[in-house]
């Protein structure tokens, strides 16, 4: 299942004497040689994130002689990063991660260019940023950015090397929609918010970053120089406890929303909304005011028996409400909460219960409702998808 791809980068004109000395162990590998090293010199690689995966990735890409390394990172170094983010040191705590990473890279290899992008990657800046590079290395730890990176790369027809880590498990692949599947082919939908804990919540074995980051760098070098079989259409699954690397074949999904023939995503979308990422205000509002679908079912049964009353609001969009809803729910889309017009439609004499698809939008609306003085308002964790999954299982799912 060899996928032979052309090198991503043309060779630079020549190597200096200093470069020949520095890269001699590459130059004597026949597959790399002078031409491969010149390609690396000409290469522009952008690493999204200078954290767990970005640390080893940037350090080895720098040592390998990748001529221009970009870093997208706006965070600062925290003490809890040092357990795995080895590009930063104890004296960097409190410093900009981008600057700290640049200093380490310059110490490893002063012959290369480092470009810092100290911004939060979003739909407004990603296309311009990515277009200036040959290859993207994705070292992000959240779903909104992963889908953003994927969609931008598909739209720009660029390859990228993806990696992910959690506790003792890691995964890596190369996504290039021209030659194989994309991230959405593998994971069409993000998990419901709160379902998959982040490394901050669930922990990660520090050295796992090196295991997966080194696969990412290996694949980057292969793509840039055009050697070997790239990890296109294959997912590497690493289990540190079993000490196994397993390969899973992945195929292009003919129904993929962005790289399929009938793609519905033709431009960048709102990735926070897509992934149900919630703001700090929403998280605060939801704290202690989130009920389960089982709680809601119990409340509905009690209302049926006349033992209590409440006002159930579906904060999704009308087309979603049409697909599936909960009996008796009133539709007031989230936008009407954000612009304040929803408040006049809410009764003062009974508790407000909000729900959406998975719980992100209802938490945002809850923050508005509570802010307006409806202190006993609550929302349904997991939203209607959890409702259909657990309570009314014969209802449709979308
Ligand atoms: Zn796809």
Sheet of strand 169-175, all strands in order from the earlier edge strand to the far edge: 113-117, 68-72, 44-48, 135-138, 160-166, 169-175, 234-239, 244-249
25 pLDDT tier (thresholds 50, 70, 90):
very high
pLDDT at 360: 85
In angstroms, what is the span from residue 252 Cα to ligand 1's centroid?
6
- Positive or negative, the CA dihedral 204, 209, 210, 211 is positive
* Nearest to 195, CA basis, from 312, 48, 360: 360
Q: pTM of the predicted model, to two decimals? A: 0.76
In angstroms, what is the span from residue 43 Cα to ligand 1's centroid?
26
pLDDT at 242: 97
Q: Is the confidence at residue 1, as pLDDT, over 50?
A: no
pLDDT at 272: 82
179 pLDDT tier (thresholds 50, 70, 90):
very high
Phi/psi for 101 (5° steps) reads -65, -45
pLDDT, tens digit (0-9, with 9 covering 90-100), for 281-292:
888 888 889 999
Could you tell me how far CA 18 lies from the centroid of its own chain? Answer: 39
The share of the chain scoring above pLDDT 90, in percent, equals 85
pLDDT at 194: 54
In angstroms, what is the span from residue 272 Cα to ligand 1's centroid?
19
Q: Is the confidence at residue 338, as pLDDT, over 80?
A: yes
Residue 217: partners with Cβ closer than 8 Å, 6 or more residues away: 56, 57, 60, 61, 64, 137
pLDDT, tens digit (0-9, with 9 covering 90-100), for 188-208:
888 766 556 667 667 899 999
Length of the chain: 398
In angstroms, what is the span from residue 155 Cα to ligand 1's centroid?
11
In angstroms, what is the span from residue 124 Cα to ligand 1's centroid?
22
Ligand 1 ion: residues within 5 Å (CB)? 182, 184-185, 256, 259
pLDDT, tens digit (0-9, with 9 covering 90-100), for 314-327:
999 898 899 999 99
3-state secondary structure of 299: helix
Residue 362: partners with Cβ closer than 8 Å, 6 or more residues away: 315, 334, 354, 355, 356, 379, 380, 383
Q: What is the mean pLDDT of residues 213-240?
A: 97
Q: What is the mean pLDDT of residues 2-22?
A: 92
pLDDT at 245: 97
Annotated catalytic residues are 199, 356
In angstroms, what is the span from residue 189 Cα to ligand 1's centroid?
11
- The number of CA neighbours under 13 Å toward the Cβ of 38 is 11
- In the block, residue with structure tokens 């159930």: 312
Could you tell me how far CA 42 lies from the centroid of its own chain? Answer: 28
Domains, in order of start, for the chain: 17-275 (3.40.50.720), 280-390 (3.40.250.10)
H or E segment at 166? Answer: strand 160-166
Q: What is the mean pLDDT of residues 48-58?
A: 98
pLDDT, tens digit (0-9, with 9 covering 90-100), for 123-135:
999 999 999 999 9
* Residue that wins the pLDDT comparison between 2 and 367: 367
pLDDT at 69: 98
pLDDT at 195: 56
Mean pLDDT of the chain: 94
H or E segment at 311? Answer: strand 311-314
């Amino acid at each position: 299942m060899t996928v032979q791809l052309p090198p991503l980068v043309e060779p630079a004109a020549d190597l200096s004497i200093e470069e020949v000395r520095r890269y001699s162990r590459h130059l004597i590998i026949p597959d790399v040689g002078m031409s491969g090293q010149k390609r690396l010199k000409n290469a522009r690689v952008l690493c999204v994130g200078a954290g767990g995966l970005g640390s080893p990735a940037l350090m080895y890409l720098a040592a390998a002689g990748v001529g221009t390394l970009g870093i997208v990172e706006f965070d600062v170094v925290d003490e809890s990063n040092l357990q795995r983010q080895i590009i930063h040191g104890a004296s960097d705590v409190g410093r900009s991660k981008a600057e700290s990473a640049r200093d380490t890279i310059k110490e490893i290899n002063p012959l290369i260019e480092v470009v810092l992008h100290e911004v939060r990657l979003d739909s407004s800046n990603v296309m311009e940023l990515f277009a200036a590079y040959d290859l993207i290395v994705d070292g992000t730890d959240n779903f909104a950015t992963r889908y953003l990176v994927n969609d931008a790369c598909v739209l720009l027809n660029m390859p990228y090397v993806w990696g992910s880590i959690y506790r003792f498990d890691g995964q890596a692949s190369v996504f290039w929609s021209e030659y194989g599947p994309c991230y959405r082919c593998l994971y069409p939908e993000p998990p419901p918010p709160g379902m998959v804990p982040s490394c901050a919540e669930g922990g990660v074995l520090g050295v796992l970053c090196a295991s997966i980051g080194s696969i990412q760098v290996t694949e980057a070098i292969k793509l840039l120089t055009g050697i070997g079989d790239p990890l296109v259409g294959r997912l590497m699954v690493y289990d540190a406890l079993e000490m196994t690397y397993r390969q899973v074949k992945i195929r292009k999904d003919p129904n993929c929303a962005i790289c399929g023939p009938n793609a519905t995503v033709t431009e960048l979308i709102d990735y926070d909304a897509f992934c149900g990422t919630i703001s700090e205000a929403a998280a605060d509002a939801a704290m202690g005011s989130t009920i389960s679908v089982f709680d809601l079912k119990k409340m509905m049964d009690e209302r049926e028996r006349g033992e209590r009353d409440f006002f159930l609001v579906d904060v999704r969009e009308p087309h979603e409400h049409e697909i599936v809803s909960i009996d008796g729910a009133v539709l007031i889309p989230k936008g009407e909460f954000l612009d304040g017009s929803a408040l006049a439609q809410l009764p003062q004499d009974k508790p407000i219960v909000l729900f959406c698809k998975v719980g992100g939008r209802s938490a945002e609306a809850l923050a508005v409702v509570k802010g307006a003085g409806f202190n006993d308002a609550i929302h349904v964790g997991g939203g209607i998808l959890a409702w259909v999954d657990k309570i009314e299982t014969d209802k449709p799912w979308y």
